[in-house]
Amino acid sequence: MRSYLLLSIVTLIVFFGGCSSADNAFSDSPVDLTASSEAYRDKSQKLPGADRSPIGMNVNAVVDWSTSYPFVNIVHSARPFYAEREGTTLTKDAQGWVTSKTGPADIVSPMLWVDDNKMLPKGDYTVMVDGELDAQFGCTKFVSNDRKTGRKVIRIGNDQCGLYLKIKSVNPKNPPKNLRIVMPGGICEGDPFTTVSDASACGARQYLSFADHSETILFNPEFLSFMRDFSVLRFMDAQNTNGSKVAHWADRAKLSDATWMQKGMPIEVMVRLVNILHADLWVNIPHAADDDYVEKLATYIRDHLDKHNKVYIEYSNEVWNGIFPQARYALEQGEKRGLDKKNKYYAAWKFYSARSVEIFKTFENVFGGTEQLVRVMATQAVRDTMTKMLLAYKDAYQHVDVLAIAAYFGGAAGGKDAERVSKMTDAEFFDYLQKETVPAAIQEYRMNYAIAASYDLPLVAYEGGQHLGGIGNNVENKALVEKFQRANRDPRMKQAYIAMYQGWKDAGGTLYMHYAGPDKYTKWGSWGIKEYLMQPRSEAPKYDGTLSFIEHNQPWW
């Protein structure tokens, strides 16, 4: 993170009147977001939907450094407020808004934090708040102050970072709440996929500015336009599934939370997104979630998800993967239930299988059957012993609709093949990808398809794509990291992706969930299908290859 001393600073002291909870769409009172979305969707418009694309998408985590930019109000993905230095204590309300502070340090929250100006959604953002805000907006330029409405406008995109908020002081009698920092422009009624600058672009249709409708127009049209090509959205990262601390319904992410980074995207927002897109919903149940949570989640989805959309149900994520807390939880629960006296890992696998079936049965009871459900049993692609045990334990396969694996290619390049790969030219590296890693992945697809078919189940990919990242000490191998990032930007990656998808299809696979949406590349991996939301298709070979495959392949199953 760059030093704050290097940032340009705009100091704003803003005084706003409060609003009643009835005026606040993100209050704790129930809000039917799925109904409100109807006003912004032209129902006659033909959208991709689950029956038109063989590729789904993993939605990125809600974080300030993500370059997916899903929300019109960027505060939703901001970092939770914290004291800039030690020695200052903050008091927050239940939603996470700071109500008082003791000590000299400022309260800070990075809100758009990237180090490449071209990745930023630039423009004049409107600042609105309930209460009194004494703040500095780093990296921005002051544009205007409307004394009548109290709204301020700041310009984002002049610096190499986006927005770094500093709250200087808090009046406990009128603290700042419901802060909104809203993208420029708006939409024409009926078209949530296109940003327009003003009413002149709408003709006879009503112009809905983001600033005036920030409580109901949640999604950045650029984000919706990107997502509409994908049939299913998996919210594993967006829900903060790995290591989730959610155990009870009261613990869940809520619409009224000051930001959605800490607990993840609320279920109301996930359902609204897929309803707008006519896509299917893939939810991941937190590993420690109790039965009441599962029942209430299923009930909300049943009551609000469009009836033509399906819901994929997966218990946690990669419960076999020892780097995640849910794997330790499964080991503990397997031992507690006494599921295997000889092998603790078998006990953990059996627990995952059994708990998955318990969750599936709750959804079946709530939905009154399985017609709208897709019950997912996920496994590690290279471990056929695990896969067979998960499906066979107490005849779990009879309660499962799909077997799911991670369908990546290229993982060996950052692990066992790293030394050899580091000596390759870029041309030799692509030859290695095409002739070794993609064929090896396809062999895994075939093995898992055979197992799935033996239980009369389709094979899906819960994640997939290139897996070019350093393992262990290779994370710090700068030359190797640079080679992987060059490969992800190289036009030849398009053909590697098409070969991967075609190999998946030929091996018998069905739905393929790419991992993941737009995100910048780091030493930890180049996971984004493109590096930032607005990046042109011509500059993003993985995205280009994916769209090319979609354009030439209707679902074949």
Per-residue tokens: 322: 């020892």
pLDDT for the residue numbered 116: 86
CA distance 259 to 78: 6
| Mean pLDDT value of segment 101-121 | 91
Helical packing angle, 492-506 and 438-454, nearest 10°? 20
Per the CB < 8 A criterion, the answer to whether 360 and 313 are in contact is yes
| Mean pLDDT value of segment 285-309 | 97
Q: What percent of the chain has pLDDT over 90?
A: 85
For 351-393, write each residue's pLDDT tens digit.
Answer: 999 999 999 999 999 999 999 999 999 999 999 999 999 999 9
If one compares 223 and 26, the residue with the highest pLDDT of the two is: 223
Q: Is 41 domain-assigned? A: no
Q: Considering only CA atoms, which of 446, 442, 451 is closest in space to residue 410?
A: 442
207-214 — which CB contacts under 8 Å span 24+ positions? 208/40, 209/185, 210/72, 210/73, 210/126, 210/182, 210/183, 210/184, 210/185, 210/186, 211/126, 211/128, 211/151, 211/182, 211/186, 212/186, 213/186, 214/72, 214/73, 214/128, 214/180, 214/182
Q: Does 466 lie in the same domain as 379?
A: yes
Q: Residue 15: which pLDDT band, with cuts at 50, 70 and 90?
A: very low
CA distance 547 to 535: 14
Q: Does 241 lie in the same domain as 134?
A: no
Q: Does 267 lie in the same domain as 120?
A: no
CATH number for the domain harbouring residue 434: 3.20.20
Q: Is 375 domain-assigned? A: yes
pLDDT for the residue numbered 51: 64
CA distance 210 to 75: 14
DSSP string, 67-124: S---BSBGGGGSPPPEESSTT-EEEE-TTS-EEEEESSPPEEEEEE--S-GGGS--EE
Q: Does 443 lie in the same domain as 499?
A: yes
Q: Is 112 domain-assigned? A: yes
Q: Is 11 domain-assigned? A: no
For 115-159, write each residue's pLDDT tens digit.
Answer: 888 999 999 999 999 999 999 999 999 888 887 787 999 999 877
Q: Which of 122, 157, 183 is the last residue of a domain?
A: 183
| Mean pLDDT value of segment 400-428 | 96
Q: Which of 163, 183, 203 is the last residue of a domain?
A: 183
CA distance 129 to 138: 18
Q: Residue 215: which pLDDT band, with cuts at 50, 70 and 90?
A: confident
Q: Considering only CA atoms, which of 175, 173, 272 is closest in space to residue 218?
A: 272
pLDDT for the residue numbered 117: 86
Q: Considering only CA atoms, which of 301, 296, 290 is closest in space to residue 246?
A: 290
CA distance 175 to 133: 7
Q: Does 235 lie in the same domain as 141?
A: no
Distance of CA 390 to the CA centre of its chain: 27
Which amino acid is located at 114 in the chain?
V
Q: Does 481 lie in the same domain as 358?
A: yes
Cis amide leading into 247 (omega within 30): no
CA distance 8 to 23: 35
Residue 249's contacts (CB-CB under 8 Å, 6 or more residues apart) are 292, 293, 296, 297
Q: Does 371 lie in the same domain as 510?
A: yes
Which range marks the domain in which residue 412 is found? 225-552
Q: Considering only CA atoms, which of 71, 185, 201 is closest in space to residue 126?
A: 185
| Mean pLDDT value of segment 19-33 | 34
Q: Which of 168, 183, 198 is the last residue of a domain?
A: 183
| Mean pLDDT value of segment 323-333 | 96
pLDDT for the residue numbered 260: 97
CA distance 241 to 342: 30
Q: Is 275 domain-assigned? A: yes
Q: Residue 460 — φ and ψ, nearest 5°?
A: -125, 165
pLDDT for the residue numbered 48: 41
Q: Is 27 domain-assigned? A: no
| Mean pLDDT value of segment 496-500 | 97
431-435 — which CB contacts under 8 Å span 24+ positions? 433/409, 433/487, 433/496, 434/495, 434/496, 434/499
Q: Is 43 domain-assigned? A: no
pLDDT for the residue numbered 34: 40
Q: Does 238 lie in the same domain as 133?
A: no
Q: Tell me: pLDDT of 44 over 70.
A: no
Beta-bridged to residue 98, according to DSSP, are: 92
Residue 553, judged by CB atoms within 10 A of its CB (0-12, 13-18, 19+), counts as middle
Q: Does 80 lie in the same domain as 169?
A: yes
pLDDT for the residue numbered 147: 78
| Mean pLDDT value of segment 547-557 | 95
Q: Does 147 lie in the same domain as 94?
A: yes
Q: Does 120 lie in the same domain as 237?
A: no
pTM over 0.85: yes
Q: How many domains does the chain have?
A: 2
Q: Is 281 domain-assigned? A: yes
Half-sphere exposure for 117 (CA within 13 Å, toward CB) = 9
Q: Does 397 lie in the same domain as 478?
A: yes
398-401 — which CB contacts under 8 Å span 24+ positions? 399/357, 399/360, 399/361, 399/375, 400/356, 400/357, 400/360, 400/375, 400/376, 400/455, 400/457, 401/370, 401/373, 401/374, 401/375, 401/376, 401/457, 401/458
Poorest-confidence range of 30-39, 197-206, 260-269, 431-440?
A: 30-39
> Which helix H or strand E contains 145, and what residues bound it?
strand 140-145
Bridge-based pairing state of the strands 280-285 and 232-234: parallel
| Mean pLDDT value of segment 196-203 | 95
| Mean pLDDT value of segment 96-101 | 95
pLDDT for the residue numbered 38: 42
> Which helix H or strand E contains 410, and what residues bound it?
none
